[in-house]
Structure 1
Amino acid sequence: MIDPALSDELDSVPHYDRFATVDEITAALTRLAGDHPGVASLRRVGSSALGEPILCLTVGDGPRHALVGAMPHPNEPIGGLTVIHLATRLCEDAGLRASTGCTWHIVGCLDPDGTRLNEGWFAGPFTKAHYGRHFYRPAGDEQVEWTFPFAYKRAYFDRVTPETLALMRLIDDTRPAFMTTLHNAEMGGAFFYLNRPVPALQSVLKALPGRYGVPLHAGEPEHPSVRTLEEAVFLTPRMEDAYDYIEALGEDPVAQIAGGASDSYAARYGTLCLAAELPYWREPAAGDRSPAGISYADLLGAHAADLRESFAVLDETLSAVSADLATRSPFIRASRFFVPFVEGMAATARHRAEAPESDRPATVAERRSCHDTVHSVRLRFGGMLLRALEGELAIGNGTPAIRTRARVLSETYAAWCAEAEAGTPDETIPIGHLVAIQYGGILAGAAHA
């Protein structure tokens, strides 16, 4: 349930027609620090791989510490606007600061290098094709949330990125009672991760999306090892659980897992951690639990085949040009990570289709979720591979293989985009509604920490 005080705060969120860039976020936090001396201060807590300052705005002087970090994944920019609004309200409203009982540490952008590579779609048009064509997500061992130290069985990771190191130091320095790194999804319904059950908080989180007509997610979880606390609220996945699940399928976990995540690192301080996963596009079927007229096993089998087909196109393209590539651009590094990752997704779906517990009816939400995942894989990773090839062409490396594969993939990609946009209405959720859901989750999380 949403109490009246929180409801009033949600009403403070303005309308937005675009997402904020790195420079706009930095300017907003810098301006707040200058306008509110004694209340807010801005400091550099680290650097990106390319030398960009990572800044943290500290607001208030409450006895508990709350840590909020936007854009650990640079293709997820809702959080940039959310931190600007959160920081503005905390700076301007002494009553709100006091009611939270927290000193707030707000990082405007955890991955500025990667975020700049997504800014081509931040102002729209907000179509799936435009999004995918300007999409970037780093390889797994370059992502903030996948590069905390990790050691389990045969897995060992200590190649901590500079951005992750900044967040690690901030966690150690503040020992937060509450922490959220701001994420979002693309399609489907809204859902949340908590690193421990908090029933009262879960009730608030489940109520927030409905206030804005956003369905709760009833489809496939992000990974089969994820445990459900209640509808659309999941226990934050541990890399150890993902490792064990992949290992039990007979696959190699080391090939699919990089490092640990921020919530696992913060666990040493008893921190309550929250992540809100929100879609850009409204999908009514995301919450539809009615029968889909197909067995779950057959759905997963077809899903595996679609993923395998998508992998084959991407893998054939990457293999054909690999010997000719002249750079190690971010798009090439990401493609080399994610193309095999798609093959692993297909293998997991195939194994799940053969499991006895999959012999049941599938729901409409599960069917929609599988379809959306295939579209996401094609538009995301096809778009990045195209950007990789275009980058090679831009520096004059137009070998016959690169020219040919860029043309063929471009034609295939156009067909993928048309299919994705035809499969569901392209109704974007108002950005202000998405910011309000994240904002409400942050305030509720801090209150229940």
Structure 2
Amino acid sequence: MLDPTLSGELDTVPRYDRFATVDEVHESLTALAAAHPGTATLRRVGTSRLGEPMLCLTVGEGRNHAIVAAGPHPNEPIGGLTVVHLAGRLCADPDLRGSYTWHIVGCVDPDGTRLNEGWFAGPYTKAHYGRHFYRPAGAEQVEWTFPFSYKRAYFDRVMPETLALMRLIDTTRPTFMTTLHNSELGGVFYYLSRPEPALQAVLTALPGRYGLPLHAGEPEHPAITRIGEAVFLSPRMEDVYDYTEALGQDPTPLITGAASDSHAARYGTLCMIAEMPYWIDPTAGDTTPTAHVYADLVRTQAADLRSAHAVLDEALNGVAGDVVSGSPFLRASRHFIPLLAEMATAGEQRAGAPENARQATAAELSSRRGLVHSYRLRFGGMLLRALEGEVAIGNGTPSIRRHLSALSETYDEWCADAEAGTPSQTIPIEHLVALQYGAVLAGAAHAAR
């Protein structure tokens, strides 16, 4: 059961009919600072690569510091609404601030977030989401471009946005930090930088308030450690490296930099990420064994990923001599499409492990199929945007137009398959915001104790 005070706070979340744009988040934080001059201060903590300001609202004067940052991945906009609601409540209620000084960053990747705003107002179908989707190439993601050095991997190409978040961490040495992510389809799950059983109990109770399942399917990567029901240790690039190396693959193509929680670890910060999906998957928490052998699921997923790679790679290579823009969609395509082949190889190699000769659960079955749908729509959608961008600037060569037409036809088939193959009931946005908001309050309160 949730604490009555926390339950009461969840009830303060209003109804939303769409996600907030970068401008709307910044306007809301600016208005709060103006309305609460003795309580909140707004400052610019950095500048994006395209010149966008990165704004941080600081509320309170407690001895502990908390960082709450929205938009670490630009296709994950729940956090924009969460930080605005959190900031408003902290300004209005001194008791809610607790022993903290709160540092609330409106968006750490404003450039990338703007490239997703085409789907923020709906309709919330997988097809519409995929056609307006953008995720930066690995070396351009704020969350994965902190300095990293391990074995043969080395990364120090820190972006301005990453540097801004690094400076904020180093200046405040936070007791608690969360970057506000979210997933797409499945159940709710969490990442913690260390096991915290009392906090885990609160976090896993939150989704039930809204009838949402906990994630019982696949972790986002096989190297990730589960520490409780729907709770995992924060991913570490060292673990990804070692896991990939043990499979006989070269880990370096998969490695960029470390994450923000790795940087904050030097200060003993409790870091938390609350992941919740846009769409309900009723089997996400179903651990009932199925008739499928788990090893066969791994092989099938690998085959599907390899097939998707073949389609996308043919189009990407087919226009390689014609494209001129160097757009972010093209850079992202060049990064992610080869990774599909790497993932397929990893699946093929691990399928034969003795521990995989077991029955798969219903949650594992749906999460493996869902990942294939997600990657086809994500990466296919970005490549289509890249080709459409070339045409839009007058570079519609016969090759670009031919591959755009062929890929569009295949992409329509992928969209129909995704809509038919997995549930598409959209979770109310206010429930997602309330879950994230509640997790932030619970995590901060626990860390302060």
Shorter-chain TM band: over 0.9
Q: CA RMSD in A?
A: 0.6
Where 2:45 maps in the other structure, the secondary structure is strand
Where 2:303 maps in the other structure, the secondary structure is helix
Q: Which moved more, 1:421-430 or 1:368-377?
A: 421-430
**Corresponding residue for 1:46?**
46
1:251-272 Cα distance to aligned partner (Å, 9 max, x none): 1111001000000000000000
**Corresponding residue for 2:330?**
332
CA distance in 2, matches of 1:165, 1:90: 27
Normalising by the residue count of structure 2, what TM-score does the alignment of the two structures yield? Answer: 0.99
CA distance in 2, matches of 1:116, 1:334: 15
**Corresponding residue for 2:93?**
93
- 1:233: how far off? 0.2
Q: Where in structure 2 are the equivalents of 1:269-418 lying within 5 Å?
A: 269-418=267-416
Where 2:177 maps in the other structure, the secondary structure is strand
Where 1:44 maps in the other structure, the secondary structure is strand
Counterpart code for 2:402: T
CA distance in 1, matches of 2:312, 2:322: 16
CA distance in 2, matches of 1:312, 1:414: 17
**Corresponding residue for 1:265?**
263
- 1:214: how far off? 1.0
User: Is the 8 Å Cα contact of residues 284 and 363 (structure 2) preserved in structure 1?
Assistant: yes
**Corresponding residue for 1:79?**
79
- 1:418: how far off? 0.5
CA distance in 1, matches of 2:94, 2:229: 35
- 1:320: how far off? 0.4
- 1:93: how far off? 1.1
**Corresponding residue for 2:215?**
217
1:281-338 Cα distance to aligned partner (Å, 9 max, x none): 0010111111121100011111110111011101111010011111110000000000
**Corresponding residue for 2:63?**
63
Counterpart code for 1:224: P
Where 1:284 maps in the other structure, the secondary structure is coil
CA distance in 2, matches of 1:348, 1:56: 41
CA distance in 2, matches of 1:397, 1:240: 42
Q: Which runs of 5+ in 1 are unaligned?
A: none
**Corresponding residue for 1:439?**
437
User: Is the 8 Å Cα contact of residues 192 and 273 (structure 2) preserved in structure 1?
Assistant: yes
Matched, 1:30 2:27: no
- 1:355: how far off? 1.0
CA distance in 2, matches of 1:285, 1:241: 29
Normalising by the residue count of structure 1, what TM-score does the alignment of the two structures yield? Answer: 0.99
Matched, 1:16 2:26: no
Matched, 1:104 2:105: no
**Corresponding residue for 1:251?**
249
Where 2:319 maps in the other structure, the secondary structure is helix
- 1:423: how far off? 1.2
- 1:219: how far off? 0.6
CA distance in 2, matches of 1:74, 1:312: 27
CA distance in 1, matches of 2:71, 2:307: 31
Counterpart code for 1:33: A
Where 1:438 maps in the other structure, the secondary structure is helix
CA distance in 1, matches of 2:427, 2:89: 23
Q: Which runs of 5+ in 2 are unaligned?
A: none
1:101-130 Cα distance to aligned partner (Å, 9 max, x none): 100000010000000000000000000000
- 1:425: how far off? 2.8
Q: Which moved more, 1:324-333 or 1:420-429?
A: 420-429
- 1:424: how far off? 2.5
**Corresponding residue for 2:142?**
144
